[in-house]
Amino acid sequence: MSTLTNIRDLSLEQLETYFESIGEKKFRVKQVYEWLWQKHAFSFDDMTNLSKDLRSKLSADFSFPALKIDTVQTSDDGTVKSRFKTFDGHAIEGVLIPTEERKTACVSSQIGCSLSCKFCATGYMDRKRNLNFDEIYDQVVLINQQSEKNFEKKLSNIVFMGMGEPLLNYNNVLKAIAKITAEDGLFMSPKRITVSTAGVAKQIKKLGDDKVRFKLAVSLHAANDKKRNEIMPINETNDIESLIEALNHFYKQTGNEITFEYILLKNFNDSQKDAEELIKIYRQVPADLVNIIEYNPIDAFQFTKPDEESIQNFMGHLEKNRVNARLRRSRGKDIDAACGQLANKK
């Protein structure tokens, strides 16, 4: 592993100081910075308007640990799932989810995950480390390139719903979003970015205190503590009451959109009583939407998705009670669509 400083950890001012110290002209700073964040170089050799000598000097003084695409799977519905390799040989994954209206990148924030949610393939992987902010940025860049190539359109949205818990990699996630939304970065609107959390109440409050501008999604998946404890161990230390309190604080501080995510599991959380409990939570939080998610089965988890009649009954009960609910059908069913499935493959 390189002991050199990652060049993308340098601010523009630090890069200016470095170029000054080696006697290079000031305009070179802008050229290099553009290659790092706007022209999307993935190595010093890509920086073709620099002399070979300067590229060699940069290579000797800095590391440039960019992500690489390792494997790509394309679904019949247009979904593109990629396994990326990090500089130290770990696998992470990202997904391009296309619809007529939008092209969405689903990105990872950690290598593996420590939360062990029972329905998630990543939950059965150990957490190796947090992703650095530039590794998160690279995912967005690479998925955007896929969108432009396959659909001739740039990404319209980003969701942090891939591997890992974003709020347990708080600083890198916020730094990545800052660069994604920056004028000298990808210049995307923060309103088109959604960070999804399993429910780290303390960090949800911190998002509010930090006045973030992006949207928040909460993976609820069960509407009482007993059931949520069964499938999401994080609930034992971040129960539903603490989540409701944290979400109200977040909304009071930011006014940003909040969504609940709820995977329907057959004979577990799909009854009318479950719907009633979900309605009760919805009414205690200024949530814009409840996403009812069609379950993508994984081998390690014994649950299956309900039949179509049960799904429609559940949806109908929410709608009858004026809950803004949307059914999100599973995408990429013919590939390793569930989070963590592709990264887990040898």
Active site residue ranges: 93, 339
Strands (E), the chain: 5-6, 62-63, 68-74, 80-85, 91-98, 103-106, 110-111, 129-130, 157-160, 193-197, 215-219, 258-264, 289-294, 325-328
Do 6 and 65 meet the contact criterion of CB atoms below 8 Å apart? Answer: yes
- The C-alpha atoms of residue 274 and residue 345 are separated, in whole angstroms, by 35
Phi, psi (deg, nearest 5) at residue 157: -145, 155
Task: Give the β-pairing of 5-6 and 91-98.
Answer: unpaired
> 320: which residues sit within 8 A by CB, 6+ positions away?
none
CA nearest neighbour of 112 among 103, 101, 120: 120
For residue 27, give the H/E element and its range.
helix 27-37
- The C-alpha atoms of residue 235 and residue 214 are separated, in whole angstroms, by 24
37, amino acid identity = W
Torsion 201-344-268-196 (CA) sign = positive
- The C-alpha atoms of residue 80 and residue 73 are separated, in whole angstroms, by 6
Q: What is the DSSP letter of 168?
A: G
Do 82 and 93 meet the contact criterion of CB atoms below 8 Å apart? Answer: yes
Do 136 and 111 meet the contact criterion of CB atoms below 8 Å apart? Answer: no
